[in-house]
Chains A and B, each alone.
Chain A
């Protein structure tokens, strides 16, 4: 075979192979399913039911090996106390790990603030956790791809690959990310992925004595969470950031971001 012929037939073979291989790639069933999956995890928080006991925070920390005494947490509860002059007072002492046991509002460096009962027009609690956004800012900004979105919509962190630059922590508009004090990598709520993937419930939802937290499949029309999102007036946090969050709130107030 002449060199010219050899090169010619090699070129033909390679280009032919590329075309047929790319066809296989196009028809990858995994990708087809990922574009329209049957499972998309979502979360429903009924703020009207939350009493701020902090059982969810404790359960989460124990289940997910976040040191109880460390001042970071995958989920937390905020308290809002609104007074007659329209002023909003909010706090979350230790992320409400021990619940709200005092009427004093924790203002951090500014100390504890006492609000007379008669001045209060309304007060309520709002649990927070990762929104498992459909277009997560944290995944976008991770320089090494250590944080990623699963096919069923949960954003996870690869602890063996995270370099700990903190860009995802900065990129998250909800402040749900932090550095794990022991693993020294970025950490966040996973909806208890290890539990829900095996048919279980998330630790916080299971621990909530009042059913304020519920996890479910947004693609299943018979799922109670999907039903509530469809049938009730629910809100999401910070929609203006375009992250398309998947934690829905019943009874969301304008003071809560």
Chain B
């Protein structure tokens, strides 16, 4: 897919490191992608694949000692990864909104939701207290809070989990950001509410023309919501492409494994596929392709050289199977360990 001429967000060769006593951990390694205005990019992967860290790096809230070691993040063509704290703060909330995993703990328990929304609005927009409150009320209605006039003066503990996540979405939207980084926005919610929240997020972002980076480990959510999807594995992007193509004809063996693990209502007899083994620890990423130990199609080359993203049908995948050179002589797992 050709990105439009002016992508909203560009991530270029992003590298996030964690200095530890036993050496530097490379948590995000050479990750590049674009998000177009109004586009929903799903970022999927197992725990520890680096997807949340990528999101945090974009909004400039990596928790120390984690740091951006290399690469660039550009918003509307301007670098934002090296801004001073105070300038980045003005971008957060105003141009990039964020939603985190747990709506139960994202709101300050001691203030009414109205106060928290008004406070955020007034931080970024030159509105009077009265106008900000009206805007807050309007936002609460938009995110579907019933009886918003009363609820605006309620405290977070008086809302259910789903309602709180709606408030969090209102907070993320309240200064009209161009991009929302949503980090597992539905993981902590009941399954019945997850779909509502995802639908709400999708609808609001379409109405406001807001782009979304949707970080999740739930392939189902991605399939429903995203325009494009990036599959992350061990800190790198394994495959990226339009969501239909990635689901229908995944080019990376890992992506295929992920797709195989989604239960399907139609195919009753098929057993769910599971990927053997676990993602390598960040300290023990093997030479060559990080997935080589779990891959059923790995060849000799996969243990020697690291594949970069390359064209693979409709998507781009980091797999030697799509290189003219191929994977080389097939090696079994036993041979690899010998």
Question: Do the two chains bind?
Answer: no
Q: Give B contacts to A, CB under 8 Å.
A: none
